[in-house]
Amino acid sequence: MGYMTIDGRKVEFTDEKNVLSVIRKAGISLPTLCYHSEVSTFGACRLCTVEDDRGRTFASCSEEPRDGMVIYTNSGRIKKYRKLIVELLLAAHCRDCTTCVKSGECILQELAHRMGVVDVRFKNTREIRPIDDSSPSIIRDPNKCILCGDCVRACEEIQGIGALGFAFRGTDATVMPAFNKKIAETDCVNCGQCRVYCPTGAITIRTHVDEVWDALADPDVRVVAQVAPAVRVAVGEAFGMKKGMSVMGKIAAVLHRMGFDEVYDTTFSADLTVMEESEELLERLRRKEDLPLLTSCCPAWVKFVHDQYPEYVHNISTCRSPQGMFSAVIKEYYRDPRNTGGKKTVVVSIMPCTAKKMEAVRPNSFTKGKQDTDIVITTTELIRMIRNYGIEFSTLDPEACDMPFGMGSGGGVIFGVTGGVTEAVLRRLTPVHEKAALDAIAECGVRGDEGIKEVTVPYEDMELKICIVSGLANARKVMEKVKNGEADYHLIEVMACRRGCIMGGGQPTRAGDRTKEARTKGLYNADNNMILKKSDENPLVLSLYDGLLKGKTHELLHNKES
């Protein structure tokens, strides 16, 4: 603890790890392009440079706070320096801003405005590099890369993958996969975290919005939407609403207005997943085989196991993800000629996740050899569609989902946050539904944003040992322990993105700690507001087992061997 003087004002610091954090705490929003508190400090962009009382300039992200420091954040010299940095970055950057998908959200563009850069005096001498569109989930445009290294550190440090790295030196320096491979040829798991960290349009979501508009415009097509749990707590923030507020009713309303024939909530099929996965866990416990059971709803994690721990592929739950289950059920319902009305059905899945685009085209999740989920768009793409249409989202009256699959439980809603799948499974396994019992489950250690949580809960005559993980670098730590016999779990829940789907690779970017907390709280609040908490008490799910699913549970709800 100590004090420093920032622009003439005395400011106290406590445990801030660098001068930049103290400056920001003092209410001065110093610009940065390469600083993120969750990855290591790189100090490459130099935009956070400040000056001290001896005229020394230094990057504030890379300097520890010291008692008695005197800092100037906006001296004339610093201002000119910062503006020059932005100008130089723009000089080596593609400047098709008006047509860039990141326009309006690009941090470089924002800084150019903020620094008053209205002219770039230098010529772009970098050669045009090819765009990598090999991935089903993301597009990499090296011409928009500013070499901040944010994607490299996110992929390496948070996801433990290292699909991207720096190559060459000086003016030839570039970020690319090793050996100049295409991103789809690497161990990339499609999580989109590189896109979340990228400040410019160098890594963006592979968009499928046009396909949705085409389907909506086709009178011979019935367009059915399913909306993932985490989407509802991220859309509102794009329209000036309170961060983390659950806006599922408005999403249903806006989709109806756009022309979707039916709108469903993926929480319904999250309930189905809970039913199937709980059964599978109990069955493996009985057999004492293929334990720990590894959850299968996160496609990036599933690919990670296939690529990095192939010897554990048999441990992955055979359950399709809620996305996969829902699409299969919808397609099955409309396979019956009495329901089709002569129309073709197109299922549009609206997800917080870029990897869901890959999951949809994974053949082992098809039914009768056909893709069930026709189009996946992310939350960010939904927001673009709403803006494109011109509907005033914040003033829309909420609407309910449709029948016959329009209801989910609170257990399904909390899937979108790390620990939610486990909590929903534990709710399913408890024979009672009294509030006290459900509160005890919530407090047993399943909640909280730590990357690795261990819980032990009594079940009948045994103790269930469960590990809950978010972030694939954390998953690697846990899998290494399992592999080395240092850990012994019955169930491991993994979501590839830190904190779970609320921070998925398709969510609106630039979410600070307050937004992350608000999205988490938003999902728990949505759960609090639901009458049904347990997946096994969802009447629509129960009637499905007696009807459409009869004799088809495995075909529609489980993946084939891959």
Decide if residue 353 touches ligand HC1 (CB under 6 A): yes
CB of 502 to ligand HC1, least distance (A): 7
| Residue of the chain from 32, 60, 321, 367 that contacts ligand HC1 (CB under 6 A) | 321
Residue of 508, 514, 513 whose CA lies nearest to 102:
508
Decide if residue 159 touches ligand SF4 (CB under 6 A): yes
Residue closer to ligand SF4 (CB basis): 59 or 188:
188
Query: DSSP strand E in 7-87: where?
Result: 9-13, 49-52, 57-59, 70-72
Select from 188-196, 357-365, 367-375, 387-395 the region that touches ligand SF4 (CB under 6 A): 188-196
| Residue of the chain from 322, 410, 419, 471 that contacts ligand HC1 (CB under 6 A) | 322
Decide if residue 202 touches ligand SF4 (CB under 6 A): no
Cα 79-83-88 angle, rounded to 5 deg: 150
CB of 303 to ligand HC1, least distance (A): 13
Phi, psi of 479 (to 5 degrees): -65, -35
CB of 158 to ligand SF4, least distance (A): 8
Q: How many angstroms separate the CA atoms of 48 and 55, rounded?
A: 16
Residue closer to ligand HC1 (CB basis): 149 or 416:
416
Structure tokens of 233? 């707590």
318's contact among ligand HC1, ligand SF4, none, with CB below 5 to 8 A by partner kind, is none
Structure tokens of 113? 């405005």
Helix/strand/coil for 138: strand
CB of 504 to ligand HC1, least distance (A): 6
Phi, psi of 507 (to 5 degrees): -80, 160
Decide if residue 191 touches ligand SF4 (CB under 6 A): yes
CB of 311 to ligand SF4, least distance (A): 21
Which of the residues 265 through 284 are near ligand HC1 (CB under 6 A)?
Answer: 266, 270
Phi, psi of 355 (to 5 degrees): -70, -20
CA 8 distance to own-chain centroid: 41
CB 536 within 8 A of CB 264: no
Q: What is the DSSP string of 142-203?
A: GGG-----HHHHIIIIITS----EEES-GGG-EEE-GGG--GGGTT-----HHHHH-SSSSE
138's contact among ligand SF4, ligand HC1, none, with CB below 5 to 8 A by partner kind, is ligand SF4
CB of 473 to ligand HC1, least distance (A): 18
Give the number of other Cβ atoms within 10 Å of residue 327's Cβ: 30
CB of 185 to ligand SF4, least distance (A): 12
Residue closer to ligand HC1 (CB basis): 149 or 322:
322
Which of the residues 138 through 157 are near ligand SF4 (CB under 6 A)?
Answer: 138, 154-155
Select from 109-117, 225-233, 332-340, 542-550 the region that touches ligand HC1 (CB under 6 A): 225-233
| Residue of the chain from 175, 351, 375, 472 that contacts ligand HC1 (CB under 6 A) | 351
Residue of 147, 124, 126, 185 whose CA lies nearest to 44:
147
Residue of 38, 107, 11 whose CA lies nearest to 513:
38
| Residue of the chain from 161, 325, 353, 544 that contacts ligand SF4 (CB under 6 A) | 161
Which stretches of the chain bind ligand HC1, using CB under 6 A?
228-230, 266, 270, 297-298, 321-323, 351-353, 356, 415-416, 495, 500-501, 504
